[in-house]
Structure 1
Amino acid sequence: MSTSVAAVAVAVLLLVEVAHAEIKTTHIVSDARPIILFEQFGFASGGKATISISRAAWQLRPGSRLAGAGADASLMGFVLISGAHTPPRPQTTTPTREAAAAFCVLTSGDAFLVLRLSDVPAGGVATTTVGIDGPDEYAVVFSNCQDGVAVTMDVRTEMYNVRRGGAIRDYLPVGLQPLPAIYAGVSAVYLAFLVAWAWTCARQRATAERIHAVMGALLLFKALKTACAAEDAWFVQRTGTPHGWDVAFYVFGFFKGTLLFTVIVLIGTGWSFLKPYLQEREKSVLMVVIPLQVMENLVLVVIGETGPTGRGWVVWNQVFLLIDVICCCAVFFPIIWSIRGLREASKTDGKAARNLEKLTLFKRFYLVVVGYLYFTRIIVSAFLAVLSYKYQWGVNVAIEGASFAFYLFVFHNFKPVEKNPYLYIGDGEEEAAGGELEMDDGAF
């Protein structure tokens, strides 16, 4: 019914976020799903979508209601669904065999038919190129209107916009075309950041700690990751394939993600700042966070390479989300432990002012970490849901802007300095600081 097409529209618009389209070849093996989402692409006027099907075959699954009549290849095929899609009007009178297909996306009339499996010659290849007149975001969807029919086929999809009268193909969606320049700029900023950080550490060699070297490595891998993202997007934009830059992106992204959570945990525990060692419970947090980051990055590779056509794509996304939530929650515990430890120490060591400054810094750090993770995981997703497909690059800018602000806060507040103002306070402020600590005793 109309609910079927509405469900597809919701899945296309809300469930799937594809970074960018490429020339892809997908192998479908014995798949009986009624809907398979292949790709999502933002077209400008004059864009092209090419779909090729080869080695197409199908068979009835045991217990199928079509065992007597057999499968109808004309009820299986590819359609384009636009972002402005609306559910079809209900069908009233149709023959019995067509009734089952009347409510299918393929025959709904609200999706643009591209190619049916009945158009594919036995052992041959069928190719169709569709020109896009109305600019919009379209999804390439395979629709199987027959329950219990499993399909096997090789599918090649190629989508692009055209520039200069069709002389140049642009394989990036409309909303992601600025990505190469954006990521190149971000990479240059982080390289400059790394140089400034190295210069600061060199100037303050006497007070530089091991954590500062780890923070420098984080900047390096962040710069390398965004540089690879720029090259990846640049090659995809011009050729439709990343030429191996996606592999480098995943590798450097793995090290960057692992180091980011490691730095948050180490700073949160006060390692190198408050104490030169880690307690057993803090080591346990690291032993949980680091393997989870390894798993998260492996899942990210699976999601990125299989795409929404994979049968377990939704499950992999849920696994990724679960691991990310666990990591985000785990990094809060060391910060809270440090805050409680500082409050307890203020009652016994007689250094209220120094403890107050440390406590204030770690509370700010806690709030910034919460805000950063909340913004990049939740706010950005909500932003993407309401953003026009033409401005999807705005999400990338928002994430990179929030990340840079977070890095600036952390690196500025925990940089090596002579007589660190956060860790040294004159004795004259002891009495006032002691009063503030007593008033603050109920937090955390």
Structure 2
Amino acid sequence: MSQTPFTAALAAVLICVLLLLLLLSPASAEIKNLKITADARPMILFERFGFTHTGQVSVAVSSVSVVSSAARPEASRLGFFLLSEESLLQVLLELQSNPNFCVLDSNYVSLLFTFQNLSPPPHTSFNQSYPIRVPNEYSLFFANCAPDSQVTMDVHTELYNLDADSSKDFLSAGQTQLPTIFFLFSIGYFAFLGFWIYICLTNRRSVHRIHLLMAVLLLMKALNLICAAEDKHYVKVTGTPHGWDILFYMFQFIRVVLLFTVIVLIGTGWSFLKPFLQEKEKKVLMIVIPLQVLANVASVVIGETGPFIKDWVTWNQVFLLVDIICCCAIIFPIVWSIRSLRETSKTDGKAARNLAKLTLFRQFYIVVIGYLYFTRIVVFALKTIAAYKYQWVSNAAEEIASLAFYGVMFYMFRPVEKNEYFVLDEEEEQAAEMALRDEEFEL
């Protein structure tokens, strides 16, 4: 049976939603006040939330108006509903098999209310709370099954579970453990920072500028995690982050830019192998840093606005694309260093020393690849296969992998006196100084 353009659009929206729900971790479900203006989308995704047997969903709409270029739409053709991930495919099949099907009529959705329940003009409002009868992870949707119509409304949503003392927990069932997890990891990084400072102080003669930059990276990571813990805690208790989300995004931006910068600088051997960067290495930094700025802007849009905005899909695609580009870009300096060391180990009289450096950079290359693979592929797989109550496992796995990566990287390039990897003899120092002077002269 052929599909009408409207039903085809609705099916396309459901396909996009299904893919994005698989790709992305659920956002923190906060108390949100949203403004929908002249929106013609057949479906709008508001939230995704894991409910327990004490779950509640509260939706309030006001200032509702529907404008249609055709006949006046039926109020029963516009409304809010909950849909589980398991039922999403069933609804999609219904849309494909029936060109005139409205998702609000599906037996696989939990209908909350339609615009028939609205107060008569001029109020045009509705406010109701609904208990969750079957614990599961649900997505809150608004459906517009009236073709050629645009909806304007103010929407207030509250999704939460009730604790044993009847207090509201505004974090999804799979995220309610995150404040504790992030706080414990922040303590771990503060301890790591203290130990790193101790190593630098006891090996002052071997400390280079890169080691100081690595200390700043640890500080930013620890601050990022403590802000993440506070952010999640306030969302859990009150439904709003109380400004901690701003600090979280700020430290996350600095931390991510620093992490990629440190990996690039270590990969080039800057500071401990050579005191300058080559032109192609500078270009990598000039590419990675602006891309990280763009990626963090996309991350803020995703985290703060939520899936209801029209460009949400686009911003998610931008974030994923930029992240992949940055991960690829930071690999090149390490490969260049390995290639350069391989060449010099064959021709240089200090072949044994260059060979030792080559071994180190090969190990570092493997560590970086392993870290990127785990945090981008394995963590994604955990998010996909884990039950909604255990979504925190993917966050914990990502933090464990990050801590392990930091530990290995810092150990490999720690400041140690008479470390053959870092010591430059007089000939190498003179050659580096001459190369630096030549480069400055050319500039």
Normalised to the residue count of structure 1, the TM-score between the two structures is 0.88
- Residues 100-249 of structure 1 mapped to structure 2, 5 A cutoff: 103-121=101-119, 122-124=121-123, 125-164=125-164, 167-249=166-248
CA displacement at 1:356 relative to structure 2: 1.0
Give the distance between the partners of 1:423 and 1:254, measured in 2 at CA: 30
Alignment correspondent of 2:311: 312
> Structure 1 regions of 5+ residues with no counterpart?
62-66, 92-98, 426-444
Contact 1:6 1:87 in 2 (8 A): no
Task: Kindly provide the amino acid, as one letter, of the partner of residue 82 in structure 1.
Answer: S
Aligned-pair CA distance for 1:8: 7.5
For 2:127, the aligned partner's letter is T
Aligned-pair distance for 1:303?
Answer: 1.2
Q: Which amino acid aligns with 2:44?
A: I
Deviations 1:200-224 (A, max 9, x none): 1111111100001100000000000
User: AA paired with 2:84?
Assistant: S
Alignment-mate amino acid for residue 23 of structure 1: I
| 8 A Cα contact 1:293 1:327, kept in partner | yes
Q: Percentage identity across aligned positions?
A: 52
Q: What is aligned with 1:73?
A: 75
Q: Which residue of 2 aligns with 1:358?
A: 357
Structure 1 counterpart of 2:440: none
Question: Which deviations, in whole Å up to 9, do the C-alpha atoms of 1:135-186 show, x marking residues without a partner?
Answer: 1101100011122211111111101111225x21111111111101000000
Supply the RMSD in Å over aligned alpha carbons.
2.1
Does the 8 A contact of 2:27 with 2:306 survive in 1? no
Change (3 A) 1:290 1:391: same
CA distance in 2, matches of 1:123, 1:228: 44
How far is the alpha carbon of 1:421 from its aligned partner?
4.6
- State the match for 1:17 in structure 2: 25
Q: Which 10-residue stretch deviates more, 106-115 or 41-50?
A: 106-115
1:51 to 52, 59, 65: 59
Contact 2:302-2:315 within 8 A present in 1 as well: yes
Corresponding residue for residue 334 of structure 2 = 335
Q: Is the 8 A contact 2:189 2:218 kept in 1?
A: yes
How far off is 1:354 after superposition?
0.7
Q: Which amino acid aligns with 2:279?
A: E
Q: Does structure 2 conserve the Cα–Cα contact (< 8 Å) formed by 1:354 and 1:424?
A: no
State the shift of 1:322 in Å. Answer: 1.1
Query: What is the SS of the residue equivalent to 2:204?
Result: coil
Q: Is the 8 A contact 1:22 1:159 kept in 2?
A: yes
Amino acid of the residue matched to residue 90 of structure 2?
P
Secondary structure of 2:147 counterpart: coil
Aligned to 1:84: 86
- 38-47 or 413-422, which deviates more: 413-422
Deviation of 1:288 after TM superposition, in Å, equals 0.9
Q: Which amino acid aligns with 1:151?
A: V
Partner of 1:403: 402
The answer to whether the Cα contact below 8 Å between 2:39 and 2:151 also exists between their aligned partners in 1 is: yes
Of 232-241 and 12-21, deviating more is 12-21
For the pair 1:26 / 2:34, whether they are aligned, the reply is yes
The aligned residue for residue 435 of structure 1 is none
Give the Cα–Cα distance (whole angstroms) in 2 for the partners of residues 115 and 343 of structure 1: 68
Distance between the aligned counterparts of 2:31 and 2:298, measured in 1? 22
CA distance in 2 between partners of 1:317 and 1:100 (Å): 30
> Could you say which residue in structure 2 is the equivalent of 1:439?
none
Deviation at 1:274, TM superposition (A): 1.0
What CA distance in whole angstroms lies between the structure 1 residues aligned with 2:376 and 2:409? 19
**For the Cα contact (< 8 Å) 1:81–1:141, is it kept in 2?**
yes
When structure 1 is superposed on structure 2, of 111-120 and 206-215 the one drifting more is: 111-120
Give runs of ≥4 in structure 1 deviating > 3 Å: 1-9, 88-91, 421-425
> Does the CA-based 8 Å contact 2:273-2:423 persist in structure 1?
no
Give 1:104 deviation, angstroms. 2.0
The size of the alignment, in residue pairs, is: 410
1:377 alignment counterpart = 376
Code of the aligned partner of 2:61:
I
How do 1:294-305 residues align onto structure 2 when only pairs under 5 Å count? 294-305=293-304
1:362-399 deviations in Å (ceiling 9; x for gaps): 01111111111111112211221111001000010110
- Structure 2 vs 1, CA of residues 8 and 374 (structure 1 numbering), >3 Å: closer, same or farther? closer
Cα distance in 2 for partners of 1:421, 1:271 equals 15
Seen in structure 2, the aligned counterparts of structure 1 residues 8 and 328 have a Cα distance that, compared at 3 Å, is closer
Letter in 2 for 1:175: G
Q: CA deviation at 1:33?
A: 0.7
2:414 corresponds to: 415
Distance 1:253 1:90, change over 3 A: closer
Counterpart CA distance in 1 for 2:323 and 2:118 is 43
Give the corresponding residue for 1:438.
none
How far off is 1:423 after superposition?
4.9
Structure 2 unaligned blocks of 5 or more: 1-6, 425-443
- Give the conservation status (yes or no) of the 8 Å contact 1:190–1:219: yes
Give the whole-Å Cα distance in 2 for the aligned partners of 1:395 and 1:255: 23
Task: Measure, in 2, the Cα distance between the counterparts of 1:11 and 1:414.
Answer: 40
User: 1-side partners of 2:200 and 2:278: how far apart?
Assistant: 27
Would you say the 8 A contact 2:189–2:221 is kept in 1?
yes
d(CA) in 2 for partners of 1:155, 1:16:
24
**Residue of structure 2 in register with 1:387 after alignment:** 386
Question: Counterpart amino acid of 1:155?
Answer: V
SS at match of 1:84: helix
DSSP-derived class of the 1:380 partner: helix
Distance 1:120-1:337 versus aligned 2 partners, 3 A rule: same
* Pair 1:15–1:200, CA change in 2 (3 A): closer
With normalisation by structure 2, the TM-score equals 0.88
Please tell me whether the aligned partners of residues 16 and 308 of structure 1 are also in contact (alpha carbons under 8 angstroms): no
CA distance in structure 2 between the aligned counterparts of 1:144 and 1:100, rounded to whole angstroms: 15
Deviation at 1:100, TM superposition (A): 6.3
CA contact (8 A) 1:269 1:334 kept: yes
